[in-house]
Amino acid sequence: MLERILSFSIKQRWMVLLASLGIALLGVLNYNRLPIDAVPDITNVQVQINTEAPGYSPLEAEQRITFPVETAMAGLPNLDYTRSLSRYGLSQVTVVFKDGTDIFWARNLINERIQEAKSKLPPGVEVAMGPIATGLGEIYMFTVEAKEGAKTADGNAYTPMDLRTVEDWIIKPQLRNLPGVVEVNTIGGFVKQYHVTPHPDKLLAYGLSLHDVMEALARNNANVGAGYIERNGEQYLIRAPGQVAGLDDIRQIVVSNREGQPLYVRDVADVLLGSELRTGAATENGEEVVLGTVFMLMGENSRTVSERVHSRMAEINRTLPAGVVAKTVYNRTDLVNAAINTVKKNLLEGAILVIVILFVLLGNFRAALITALVIPLSMLFTITGMVGSQISGNLMSLGALDFGIIVDGAVITVENCIRRLAEEQKHRGRLLMRAERFDLVFDATKEVVRPAFFGVFIIMVVYLPILTLTGVEGKMFHPMAWTVIIALLGALIFAVTFIPAAVALFMTGKVSEKENFVMRAAKAMYRPALNLCLNFRGAVALGAMVLVVLSGVAVSRMGSEFMPSLDEGDIALHALRIPGTSLSQAVEMQHLLEKRLKEFPEVKHVFAKIGTAEVATDPMPPSVADGFVILKPRSEWPNPKKPKVELVSEMETAVKKLPGNNYEFTQPIQMRFNELISGVRSDVAVKVFGDDMSVLQEVGEEVEKALGSVSGAADVKMEQTTGLPLMTIALKRDVMARHGLNVSDVQEVIEIALGSKSAGEVFEGDRRFDLVVRLPENLRTDIEAIKRIPIPLPPHEESGATVTRSVFASKATARNAPSYLPLNAVATIHIAPGPNQVNRENGKRRVVVTANVRGCDLGSFVQEAQQKIQEQVKIPAGYWTAWGGTFEQLISAAKRLQIVVPIALLLIFLLLFMTLGTIKDAILVFTGVPLALTGGVAALWLRDIPLSISAGVGFIALSGVAVLNGLVMISFINKLRSEGKPLDEAISEGSLTRLRPVLMTALVASLGFVPMALATGTGAEVQRPLATVVIGGILSSTALTLLVLPVLYRMFHSRDDGSEATRSTSVIASAPSSAA
């Protein structure tokens, strides 16, 4: 089979070359279609169900909304788990589906269930699903600001309300319909509202109620259409506009008529532009701003979409009123470009290094060029493959590509051809004829194609187990495994088609049989070393074993972490305040914080979202701020070499001095992923489940104490679920009964007076604003004034005892005028702390204690923490704990790898057995794996890099490469022996002959990764462990192949007597031809 391909390639060489060119062109075309991103998207399939419940306290939101919604979601097909959060005015249920579930299908199902649940929900609440976006979705953020001294059309300075109006009605409509944009979420500023604020005293004086005002507004603000009339052949449409057009129109609305005298709204109330009761604010550099976040549709290409948004933003800026600017504060393109540049640089430098080595070791420029051509060819092939299988180009997928490994197969083939050509030319004393050359190339390639093919195939196969990973680590590493497999597949195809064709066609000149001085020097050193090793076989074998044991010991002492995290360049800084902190207080505190941060010369700008935005994609109470610290490019830093960790710790020290804030430092994308994946924003989380909020609180506090005592723990805190000051207006039912009042009568007054109630909308062209009624601001915030809010009493029967003091008195008050009671006559007001939020997971209440891990690996941290909690915390019956946070992934990945890695090793062994035909030789080659790992471990240990999944993937790749070299060497020695050479001679001749290809493959593979191991750019920290492992491992595996393998071969085969040796080797020798 392989031989047929080889002969076909040589025969149809031009066609093969053309086909290769075609593949290359296809790759170039596809390059523009390749989605590019910084990191793979690791968000699970989830749908957020947000229900706005204006005015609901956390307990009521849980009881009346969250519970019914959560219950309705139970039993959905493909459901993984649900979690929920109930807070002031908001209920959010997050439904997480199993991986691979179609999001649109899931949303449909949820929609159905929501419709079913609606009947159980209180009237007036709106249930909505969150945007179809992932953790990578927040790609672009901008602020809307007024330039200094800018004035509005009527000559005033821009207010936050004006800016919000610009955002809502000019910017947002232009962005929302861009392809790839799913949502523009706004936070900050004030939504403009028309406020009618009646004075209770005046209402009382005129004998009116809030309700009368509401009704008057509602009845004087509508347009009607009245069909049409026909007249003289024409048709006139009829409309009777009655909508109010502005403040003055509202003031003119008649509320009542007294003695022929109309009473206008303006007589009893102030009419003004007011602001909503907002749930969130935004700040930038210590000033309040309006902040917009653009969400990218799931599955879109973040670079394309953010570029599109950015260019549209420039256009939008031209449409804004003079003096108002929309300023970009976060653009994902920057990060993506930086990360991709790192990858590009690494790949390019790696490729150049590979070419240089090929040239130096082969000593033949044409041959080096032909081999090196495999690099761009397989790269372009890979791009086509990635586009075909919808893998995005990012740090993980492109990061694992090593051109050294990719060209291994080609190197072995070309090297053998060169060697044979040189020998043949020397033998014949002339250049070869075309036909001779073709035959020889066929022969030479045939000689090594089987080990080379199987070797590369083994590398491919070892990546397959990665594809069995699931969950986050699956999403993280699948693209990488696929990319490498596609690249290897490409290289494999080119090695058996393009290489023979090109060599046959172009290696026409004289091939010097004399090796260049590099190879000569290498051989000169290798020969005595090999002899020495062969003499001290026992010591060498034992030494190898000792090394393996040693690396085992080293591994056990090494730390581990899930993933080295990508340095996004920017810092996300959570500022947490005590529950119950008011929004305006939080804004004040954030101002101080931002001013302090801005003093750092490295900081470009700081901005923050406080509380919850318009769409509750990330529901936070006003006491929490998501801050973003955008750093200047390193070149503008006073000390460009300053490590980011150091900067972060300096910032932490500085901001810790500000009173009243607690902090968590993380990074924008990382933060979003953490939020979405487990609902928890930190590395490690201990969840306590149970019924009673206060017991949960107590257990949580103990867990917090235990966790805080573990070394490496940082930012340990318990999610504060209580402490929200609650003002309860408790109605006195007996008093109300005496006056004939209903509960709802009083509640309505409270609702209108304090919370505000909509009485319609005011239209300004296309813009529409709510028209609401509520008390004047100075009265709403004054508890004494609240106590005196008049509650109208139902009409009372006229009684003779009523004192009429004068004629005037009876005239001034209209008959049947309602009488009033102050609120505190029918209710008591008390203020006490209440629950701040209620969290549930899988239908059970829970509290969470979170911790970040600094300067210590996650694995050992969790181990210590688990032990401490077991010893120190008593958990009552009916309550239980569970662990979460990113470490969850580490454990599930570790478990899976425990199964998958042995399977991979078994697979390698099986393939070896298939190639070599004997278990003995298969074991021999297989010994390469542990020794190769030794080098990897040593390299990690030397560079002080903890074990991580990245490093694990490196080990997997390494096993493949290690086996490839061993395979080539052993099959060559076997071939020599089958030709009748005695054991010792076969070993030393075989080893010496294979020195060059082994060195070449090893050097190209390790040097190809060197730029990656040393890189410092954005995203380099993700690739570093992988590259380090491969380099270290390949160095040790080369030493093994060259020195230990011959020794082991000698030991394994020392008891073969002549006949046996001949028999076994003949079997081996015949194997390739029979398979071909």
Partner 1 sequence: MKNNQIIAILAVLALGAGFTTLALKKTKPAAADGKYGDGAAHREEAGEQMERGPHRGRMLREGNFATEITIFETGLPPQFRVYFYEQDKPVDAAQVKLTVKLKRLGGRSDVIQFKKEGDYLVGDQTIYEPHSFEVKVTAERGGQTHRWQYESPEARVELSPEAEKASGVVVETVGPAKIKATLKANGRVVPNEDQMKHVVPRYPGVLKVVLKRLGDKVSKDEVLAAVESNESLQRYEIKSDLAGTIIEKHAVPGEFVSEGEAIFIVADLSSVWVDLNIYRQDAARVKTGQSVMIDGGDGFHKDKGTIAYISPYGSESTQTLLVRVALPNPDGEWRPGLFVTGEILLEEVEVPLAVKASAVQTFRDWTVLFVNEGNFFEPLVIKPGRSDGEWVEIVSGLKPGMRYVAENSFLIKADILKSGATHDH
Binding residues for partner 1 restricted to 585-614, rule: CB under 8 A: 585, 588-589, 592
Residues contacting partner 1: total by CB under 8 A: 82
Minimum Å distance from CB 822 to partner 1?
5
Placement of tokens 């047929």 in the chain: 4
Q: Out of 75, 233, 855, 1058, which residue is the one contacting partner 1 (CB under 8 A)?
A: 855
Residues 650-679 that bind partner 1 (CB under 8 A): 656-662
Backbone Cα Rg of the chain: 38
Q: Which is closer to partner 1, CB of 471 or CB of 712?
A: 712
Q: Out of 559, 755, 843, 1017, which residue is the one contacting partner 1 (CB under 8 A)?
A: 559
Q: Among 81-89, 156-164, 299-307, 541-549, which window interacts with partner 1 (CB under 8 A)?
A: 541-549
Q: Which is closer to partner 1, CB of 141 or CB of 680?
A: 680
Q: Is 806 in the site for partner 1 (CB under 8 A)?
A: yes
Minimum Å distance from CB 1001 to partner 1?
28
Residues 187-216 that bind partner 1 (CB under 8 A): 201-202, 204-205
Residues 1042 and 1050 sit within 8 Å (Cβ to Cβ): no
Placement of tokens 């709106």 in the chain: 126
Q: Is 433 in the site for partner 1 (CB under 8 A)?
A: no
Q: Among 158-166, 517-525, 572-580, 980-988, which window interacts with partner 1 (CB under 8 A)?
A: 572-580
Q: Which two tokens stand for residue 603?
A: 């900081």
* Residues 766-785: x where in contact with partner 1 by CB under 8 A, - otherwise, as a string: ----------------x-x-
Q: Out of 92, 581, 889, 1037, which residue is the one contacting partner 1 (CB under 8 A)?
A: 581
Cα 375–Cα 380–Cα 383 angle in degrees, nearest 5: 125
Q: Out of 273, 489, 695, 793, which residue is the one contacting partner 1 (CB under 8 A)?
A: 793
Buried/exposed code over 987-1020 (b: 16+ C-beta within 10 A; e: otherwise) = bbebbebbbbbbbbbbbbbbbbbbbbbebebbbb
- List of E strands, 297-419: 324-331
Q: Is 33 in the site for partner 1 (CB under 8 A)?
A: no
Q: Is 1014 in the site for partner 1 (CB under 8 A)?
A: no
Q: Among 311-319, 396-404, 549-557, 747-755, which window interacts with partner 1 (CB under 8 A)?
A: 549-557
Minimum Å distance from CB 780 to partner 1?
15
Q: Which two tokens stand for residue 274?
A: 């007011």
Q: Out of 33, 796, 844, 895, which residue is the one contacting partner 1 (CB under 8 A)?
A: 796
Residues 626-655 that bind partner 1 (CB under 8 A): none
Residue 990's closest CA among 1004, 1009, 974? 974
Residue 83's closest CA among 818, 860, 719? 719
Rounded Cα gap, residues 1030 and 1009, in angstroms: 8
Minimum Å distance from CB 315 to partner 1?
41
Q: Is 143 in the site for partner 1 (CB under 8 A)?
A: no
Q: Is 29 in the site for partner 1 (CB under 8 A)?
A: no
Q: Is 683 in the site for partner 1 (CB under 8 A)?
A: no
Residues forming beta bridges with residue 48, ordered by sequence position: 94
* Residues 857-876: x where in contact with partner 1 by CB under 8 A, - otherwise, as a string: x--x----------------
Minimum Å distance from CB 839 to partner 1?
18
Q: Is 154 in the site for partner 1 (CB under 8 A)?
A: no
Buried/exposed code over 427-444 (b: 16+ C-beta within 10 A; e: otherwise) = eeeeebeeeebbbbbbeb
**Which amino acid does the sequence have at 597?**
L
Q: Among 360-368, 437-445, 820-828, 1036-1044, which window interacts with partner 1 (CB under 8 A)?
A: 820-828
Q: Is 819 in the site for partner 1 (CB under 8 A)?
A: yes
3-state secondary structure of 732: coil
3-state secondary structure of 207: coil
Q: Is 942 in the site for partner 1 (CB under 8 A)?
A: no
Q: Which is closer to partner 1, CB of 370 or CB of 869?
A: 869
CA dihedral 52, 55, 59, 60 (to 10 degrees): -80
Q: Which is closer to partner 1, CB of 538 or CB of 633?
A: 538
Q: Out of 251, 312, 366, 788, which residue is the one contacting partner 1 (CB under 8 A)?
A: 788
Rounded Cα gap, residues 311 and 537, in angstroms: 69
CA dihedral 482, 483, 487, 492 (to 10 degrees): -10
Q: Which is closer to partner 1, CB of 177 or CB of 653?
A: 653
Q: Among 184-192, 553-561, 685-693, 913-921, which window interacts with partner 1 (CB under 8 A)?
A: 553-561
Residue 631's closest CA among 395, 852, 335? 335
Minimum Å distance from CB 282 to partner 1?
21
Which H or E run contains 87?
strand 79-87
Quick count: other Cβ atoms within 10 Å of Cβ 877?
Answer: 6
Q: Among 890-898, 938-946, 954-962, 1047-1055, which window interacts with partner 1 (CB under 8 A)?
A: 938-946
Which residues, including other chains, have CB under 8 Å from residue 37's CB and lie 6 or more apart? 136, 301, 302, 303, 336, 392, 393, 394
Residue 220 phi/psi, 5-degree rounding, is: -125, 30
Minimum Å distance from CB 940 to partner 1?
12
Minimum Å distance from CB 823 to partner 1?
11
CA dihedral 1060, 1065, 1071, 1074 (to 10 degrees): -80
Minimum Å distance from CB 143 to partner 1?
24
Which residues, including other chains, have CB under 8 Å from residue 237's CB and lie 6 or more apart? 225, 227, 228
Q: Is 286 in the site for partner 1 (CB under 8 A)?
A: no
Minimum Å distance from CB 795 to partner 1?
9
Helix, strand, coil abundance in the chain, percent, nearest 5: 55, 20, 25
Cα 336–Cα 339–Cα 341 angle in degrees, nearest 5: 105
Q: Which is closer to partner 1, CB of 725 or CB of 878?
A: 725
Residues 692-731 that bind partner 1 (CB under 8 A): 701, 704-705, 708-709, 711-718, 723, 725
Rounded Cα gap, residues 928 and 930, in angstroms: 6
Tally helices (H) and strands (E) across the chain: 41, 30
Q: Report DSSP state, residue 633.
A: P
